[in-house]
Structure 1
């Protein structure tokens, strides 16, 4: 296993996403890596309604997104991460995470498995499956839901 220096994890404020944050934070602590916690948001309800996939919580606006990030960063600190950055990006969760991964030159992307085994996930794709296909860095899919 290579040394990770920058680890990205996404959050939407859900319990499932906080489990992924916890796992990413523990890895970041073990490698003394920077943990970048990202949150996607939609600028309008119309933008949110355009997405066919509903496997993540819909975050409208930057204020709720920042609140999710603050909660996730606090959670990450509690499990040992010390170098934590937060980034908010507009768009779908996949678009936002891919932007953050590329922007930060991440070595590892950590996501929860929510949506991956749903009917919608199998037909339309899911955030974990889509980022795994699109990412140029290692991807860890954490078992956060049954």
Structure 2
């Protein structure tokens, strides 16, 4: 039976080596199926108290430059380069504030993706079993195909 032809594939990354391996695998799938690859990264918004402290120390103009989505933007930029090296032709990036699984589900819905790709980091840890992990929660809540890439032993 041939593999499903996906029009859009979403992969989540947090910049870790594990998640970048998942990006590489998703890029290979996107290449092989001529799908658009959407690389998503969730981030936590600035803590208002930390922001106030930064503004107090550094001034209004500088304080806003050290919080927010900048690290996530750099993460998807790096992931996009990896994806293109792995052969993905059409790569888009999404950076959004929120919890990782919520952001991934929103991106899947917004792009009408047929496949969600995540790494397996956290699945075999005690905290992952007790508290839940991103791949585990994504697998439970996903309404589309999900590929959990073996990225850590």
Say yes or no: TM over 0.5: yes
- Structure 2 residues not aligned, in runs of 5+: 49-66
2:13 is equivalent to residue 11 of structure 1 = yes
Aligned to 2:116: 109
CA distance in 2, matches of 1:69, 1:121: 24
Q: What TM-score does the superposition give when structure 2 sets the normalisation length?
A: 0.84
Alignment length (residue pairs): 133
CA distance in 1, matches of 2:127, 2:84: 34
CA distance in 2, matches of 1:16, 1:2: 25
Using the TM superposition, give the Cα deviation of residue 124 of structure 1 relative to its aligned residue in structure 2, in angstroms. 1.3
Aligned to 1:52: none
Using the TM superposition, give the Cα deviation of residue 61 of structure 1 relative to its aligned residue in structure 2, in angstroms. 2.0
Using the TM superposition, give the Cα deviation of residue 99 of structure 1 relative to its aligned residue in structure 2, in angstroms. 1.1
- 1:63-142 matches, cutoff 5 A: 63-142=70-149
- Structure 1 residues not aligned, in runs of 5+: 47-59
Q: What TM-score does the superposition give when structure 1 sets the normalisation length?
A: 0.88
Using the TM superposition, give the Cα deviation of residue 45 of structure 1 relative to its aligned residue in structure 2, in angstroms. 4.5
